[in-house]
Each structure stands twice: as C-alpha cells, then as structure tokens.
Structure 1
Amino acid sequence: MCSAFLWTGAPETAKDAKVSWASVCTPKKYGGLGLRRVEVWNRILCLRLIWLLFTKGGSLWVAWVKSNLLADKSFWDLKTTSKGSWSWKKLLKLRSEARTFSRCRLGNGSSCNFWLDSWLPQGPLIAELGESGPRQYLLLIIHLLYDSSLLPFSTSRAWDLLHCFSSTDIAPWHKSVWFTGSVPKHAFISWLAVKKRLPTRDRLLSWGLNTPPDCLLCGSEIETTHHIFFGCDFSNEIWTSLLVSCPLSDCLASSLQEVLIWANRCSNDPTIRLMVKLLLQAAIYLIWRERNTRLHDTQSKPADIILKDILTTTRMRLSSFRGSNMDMNAHDSLLTIWFRHFECS
C-alpha cells in the first residue's frame, strides 16, 4: 500500500513514479526517505558474519566453520570450491569488501596472519608487496594476534561507508522536514514538495496524461510546485497573512527549499524553531490538500479559512506535547509561548 502511493504502473517504466527508488533509499540527512535497500542491508549483515568469524570464539556456528570449512587455513586465502553452502560461498565472494571493515589489534601473536590480515592502515601487507613479497624480502610468515578481536563492527557505519556520502551531499533542508514532533503526513508531503515530486499538472503532462495545465488554486498559470506554493495568488495570500500574524517577517526566501533552510535557523530558541517548522509543514500540507479537494470534490475554501486551519492544526499538535519531553520550557507551556508569539490577537 505504501509503495503503491509512490509507484504505479509497469515496473520497467518511470511513468507515474513520484520518487526514484534510489532517492527513497537515501538517508534522510542526504535528502532521501531513509529506507534501506534489502540487497545492501543483506551484504552488511553478511559482512558482520565474517567479522564474527574472528571475534566470537564461543559461537557454535563459528566453531563449526573453523573446524569444517577453514581447517586452520586463512579465511582470506581460502579458495572457492564446491565445499560449503550457498551462504558460505557468498561470504567468500565478499572478502575483498570485508577487508574495508576489518582491522587487527596487535597482541600476543597467536592467530592473525602477518601477510593476509589487515593490521596496517593500508590493508593486508601482501596487497602492498605482492604475492612474491614473503620470498623477496626473506621474511618468515609469522602470526600476530589482535589483543581480543577485530575492532567493533557497526552496521550503521558500514552502511555509511558503502554509500560513500560526503558532507557536501547533505540536504540543507532535511532538519526542517524530519524532526522530532513533526506530523508524519505533513513531513512526507513537505519532502515530496521540496523534491518537486508532487503530482502537479506540469508533471502529469510530462507523463503524457491529457489534463488541463492551469493551476487549480488560481487558474491563471501553469501548475508547478513552485507556482502552487509561491507564484499563486491564493497561496501568496496565505503566506502574507502568516507573515503578519507570526514571527516570520525576516523570511525573505523565494523558494520552498530556502524557506525550509531558513526555518532551521530562524531563532536561537529551539521552541520557536519547532513551532515555525510545524507551521510551515501544516501550510504546505493544507495548501496541497486544498488543491486536491478542488480537483476531486469541486469544493473550495477561501484563503482565510485555510489560514485558520493552519493555525488550528499547529496549535492542536502543540497541545499533544503537554507533559512530554517536547515541553522544552520549564516555566511556560508550549501553548503559552504559541499564543504569545503566533496568535497574539
């Protein structure tokens, strides 16, 4: 049901797909929805099994593998044969990837292979010197053991390393979309809006659908995401009223992304920032809902009623935080702060 909301139609075409699967599986911090690909997650769990081979001596599975499959041989140097199960052969195929996450701690010298295990920052010594290294440098193949085990394995760290995200990939607006206390459906619609993946009429036309191009809210221009939220007379009336009634007067943003970035730094008070984020998400959601209502039910509400709905929705959300850890001010309740700054009249 959830997937049907994002994807419809044939699997081999992008028609009617709101968001790409790659984007959905990208962490929220980097502009995605934060779902995890099963394929990648399975690889990470397999890497953890490899890690267990070197760390969990008391495990029955580890003991069986060492006795029947390794037989005093190095896991890194073991040749792939017909021996072993399908899952074991998969582990062997992941050895090159596993080296990225395996580092040894040098200790008393009993079971870490000098040439094949990763005890140097650069990786296995044999990878640096080549297969002829032991003979060329006249070094004995000795064993060194890490004091206790490999360094701790972190599935979340492995997930980040496999995706290779950098600080420049961070979506600057993500903290204004995904935050503690947000309304899930408001956050989701805001995410689709900032990604420009709402099914506006310009997108429907690009999919080849026969639909009028005019905006359903004002009827004067082609309906795009930017127009609905910033170029439409209807939404502009709502934003103007919000600027008058709320502490948003210093917001000079001209796009949805800029507004969300501003919301995360609009005040030094985290309570005010929370209220502004909730207010903006409620506005995005209710403007989009009004657009859909006019499309499907041929009913409409004036802008002043939508404005009241936005304020009421935000106020009701804040009232649900009473007595919880979201009540961040010990002296004033969230609603007291709300009426002081957002609904003064």
Structure 2
Amino acid sequence: MFSRGDTKSIMLLLRAFKTFSKASGLCMNQEKSNIYSNGVDEGTMATLVRISGMKRGTILFKYLGVNISPKRLSVADCQCLTDKVVSRMRGLGATELSYAGRVVLIRSVMSTLHNYWARIFIFPKTILNKIEQLCRKFLRHGNEMKDSPSLVSWAQICKSRKKGGLGFKSMYWWNVAAVAKYTWWIARKTGHLWVRWIHDVYMKGKCWREYKPGSGVSWTRRKICWVKDLMQHHLFSGNFEVYTIRLGYSWLVNEGPDQTWHPWIANKLMIPRHGFNLWLVAHRRLLTQDKLVRLGIAQSNLCYLCGTEEESMEHLFFKCDYSRMCSRLMGDWLQTTIPDSQVIDWWLKLRTKSLKKKKVLASVLVALMYQIWSSRNKCRFEGFLCRPEELVRKCKVELKMKFRCNNVKSKFRGVCTWLDGLCQS
C-alpha cells in the first residue's frame, strides 16, 4: 500500500485496514509487515513506525519471490535467479536424463523461472548470458559444470520446432518483448494506476509515439523508451487490438522458413529420444567418423558396422550392409519396403495412405535409425556389435509399448487390422 509520508495519511491507512478487518475477519500481521520510506526525515519516520507498529524495512527487499529495488537491477541482485536454475539442474535424477528429458526440463522449468522475472524487470545482459550458458552446458552434458562446443548453435536451438529448433526462447529478446507490453499499455492509455501516473507526471499531454526522455530520467524509463522506438512500427500500426509477449517476440526474432522435415519431429507416436536423434540427423550434426577425422579426433574413417566404406550419415543409415539388413527385417514386419535413400521423399509420396499409417511408418523408421546409431556407438566404445535380428527386436519392443500407451487407432478398417498385426507379431 502506498501513501504520503505524514501522520494523517498513515492514520487513514490504518483505519482502512481496521474497517477491512471488521468486515472480512482478516487481520494484518504486523510481525510480517514493514514500512518503507523515501524522502521522509528521521523524526517523522520514527513517529510513523511507532504509530503503525511495523518494523522499518530497507530496500532491497523481496515481494512475491522477486527483488524490489528503485534502481537498476545489478548482477548481484539477480544471483538468486541463477542459483534457482542451478538447483533445478542438480535436482533429483536430473543428471540421469536423456537429451530429450533435458530439453523438457529446460523448457518447462528453467525458462518458466526466467519468464516470471522477465515480465517485471529489465535484466542485465550478463545474467541472461549466464543462464543461457548454464542451459547449453546442461543440454550438452547433463551437468552445468562441464563445457564443450555445442553440436548445434544456440541461435538455431532457440527457434520453434517448425523452424528447425527445439522450441526454446532467446532470453534477451523475450525480455524485450515482455517490457514492450508496458509501452503498449502507455500507448493505449489502459486503466492501470502505473499508466495513469506516467501520463499525469511525465507525459503531460505529450504524444507517446514522439516522446523522448530528457536528461536525468531513470534508467528504467530510458529502457522502456528504447523498446518503444525499437518496436514502433508494430506497436503503432493499429493492426492489433491485443498485445501478447509471444506476438512481440515474433516481431523481434526472424526464425526463417519452415523445415520440410518438421512433421517427422512433431510426430506424437515417436519416442522422444528417437526424435532428438532425428533432429541431430536433420541438422547433420551427428559425430560420424568422417567428421571426427576432419576434426582430428579419429585416425580412421571406416564404418564401425561394416568396416569396408567411409562412415557418413548417408552410408551409416542407408548404404551400410548392416543397416540394409535391419531395414529389410523391419520392412518385413511393416509389410512394406523401406528405401535405401531419399526417405523423406518416400514418406511424402505416401499421400494416398492414412495419416495414422504415415505417422506409424515414420516413428518406426526413426526408431530404427536411433538403434543403428546406438549399436554403432556400442561397437565403437565397447567393441560389441549386436546382430541385426536383436536390434530389430529392440525396436519392436519399444514401438509396441509406445503404440499401446498411445492407444493408436484409425478410422480405416484396413489400417486398424494392420496396426493390430504389428502389435501382436
């Protein structure tokens, strides 16, 4: 509650509290309440503390979990947010998560912590860079202490799934889009008390679009005006009746065209860790032997599965004799033929097929690619290569469980019969 720093105003405020208490039965806890002042002399302040019965508080203080300060937030003020992110990374079982599990944790927990603060404050870039650095390390290693180059750039990761990313948000631009909501409120002259105060005290009838902050204004007000100038074309176009942070973010960040392989990643019948492996394949970021040789990490570029040709992603998944044998066995189970190359073109040609059948075929093929990659890594690091029949059996077990959990059905009788045959075979 705000009031003037004099005895009369405090008495009226306390009387209002008592009236509210009699009407509702709720009482103010004076032990948990503090009184803060600005520009009040010490004698008057001592009188106000004695009358109210509250303790005198000092700024900086916490309110609803965030730090409240009249000045620009410093790196030290935001350290508690960084500590919260680190604690979630070190939570129970977090280090044992797969790549797909880490993606979910970063998106649902860590970004949520940042979003809550970003709607209230303008962050220092140092803190935002620190949080993104922690997220990159955790995604790569499952540990925020280890560090090595990422397989995919963070700018690419911070794109929507349709654009080839993982659905993360750039923390800096999300913060700018959140602050832009205040400029939208000022432009629309909403009924918020803060907006009325801005217009009465600072604007004084001036045009917000043409407003320029003078010398001596606070850093926060200058930053809000900077955001207003940055997004002026969109904020004052009149094409939008309601502003949302997501809309403002789309104005600020150009994510590029949609990716043709997006439907594969968005397939709900796909096991998440298989989908993440496919995402790396689509970006050509798997560390196959040809890449390791170019990086100077490996000496030989021969395929670990067949040992006769150079190992590349095309060879590993479609040209290798081992992979071809696995594809033939999986094709027998699916009652179809899986091609040795141009898989995306083959999938797109299935337009006459049921959409449900297309999704099942896609999830099976991606599961096969994941198991082939896992078998290759096991052969490289442990010196053991499982037989194609054993690899296909693992695929079948995981896929049958996934189909049963998702209760996969189709409105076409032929597809239902085909799905039942897959789950029973």
- TM-score, normalising length: structure 2: 0.60
Which residue of 2 is the match for residue 114 of structure 1?
A: none
Asked whether the equivalents of residues 263 and 276 of structure 1 are also in contact (C-alpha less than 8 Å), the reply is: no
How far off its partner does 1:212 sit? Answer: 2.6
The alignment partner of 1:88 has SS state of helix
How far off its partner does 1:281 sit? Answer: 1.7
Which residue of 1 is the match for residue 203 of structure 2?
A: 70
Once the two structures are superposed, the pairs formed by residues 304-315 of structure 1 within 5 Å of their partners are 304-315=389-400
Once the two structures are superposed, the pairs formed by residues 1-345 of structure 1 within 5 Å of their partners are 2=102, 3-4=136-137, 16-55=149-188, 57-103=190-236, 118=237, 151-164=241-254, 169-249=257-337, 252=339, 254-255=341-342, 257-258=344-345, 262=347, 265=350, 267-322=352-407, 327-329=408-410, 337-340=418-421, 342=422
How far off its partner does 1:87 sit? Answer: 2.6
Give the ranges of 4+ consecutive aligned residues of structure 1 lying more than 6 Å apart after TM superposition.
none
Matched letter for residue 151 of structure 1 = E
Asked whether the equivalents of residues 213 and 221 of structure 2 are also in contact (C-alpha less than 8 Å), the reply is: no
Q: Distance in 1 between matches of 2:330 and 2:378?
A: 22
> Mind listing any 5+ residue stretches in structure 2 that lack a counterpart?
1-88, 90-101, 103-135, 142-146
Matched letter for residue 235 of structure 1 = S
Q: Deviations over 1:247-277 (max 9, x none)?
A: 443x556245545xx1694554232122112
How far off its partner does 1:206 sit? Answer: 2.4
How far off its partner does 1:24 sit? Answer: 0.9
The alignment partner of 1:94 has SS state of helix
Q: Deviations over 1:94-139 (max 9, x none)?
A: 2233223224xxxxxxxxxxxxxx45x8xxxxxxxxxxxxxxxxxx
How far off its partner does 1:5 sit? Answer: 6.4
If asked which structure has higher relative contact order (CA below 8 Å, sep 6+), I would say 1
Q: Distance in 2 between matches of 1:266 and 1:155?
A: 37
Q: Distance in 2 between matches of 1:203 and 1:298?
A: 20
* CA RMSD across the alignment: 3.0
Count residues in correspondence.
287
Percent of aligned pairs with the same amino acid: 23
Asked whether the equivalents of residues 194 and 257 of structure 1 are also in contact (C-alpha less than 8 Å), the reply is: no
The alignment partner of 1:26 has SS state of coil
How far off its partner does 1:293 sit? Answer: 1.1
Q: Distance in 2 between matches of 1:19 and 1:312?
A: 31
Which residue of 2 is the match for residue 11 of structure 1?
A: none
Q: Distance in 1 between matches of 2:286 and 2:202?
A: 53
- TM-score, normalising length: structure 1: 0.73
CA pair 223-281 structure 1, distance change in 2 beyond 3 A: same
How far off its partner does 1:336 sit? Answer: 5.6
CA pair 317-70 structure 1, distance change in 2 beyond 3 A: same
Q: Distance in 2 between matches of 1:29 and 1:80?
A: 40
How far off its partner does 1:31 sit? Answer: 1.6
The alignment partner of 1:245 has SS state of helix
Larger Rg: 2
Q: Distance in 2 between matches of 1:88 and 1:253?
A: 61
How far off its partner does 1:177 sit? Answer: 1.5
Asked whether the equivalents of residues 194 and 256 of structure 1 are also in contact (C-alpha less than 8 Å), the reply is: no
Q: Distance in 1 between matches of 2:370 and 2:358?
A: 18
How far off its partner does 1:81 sit? Answer: 2.6
CA pair 311-66 structure 1, distance change in 2 beyond 3 A: same
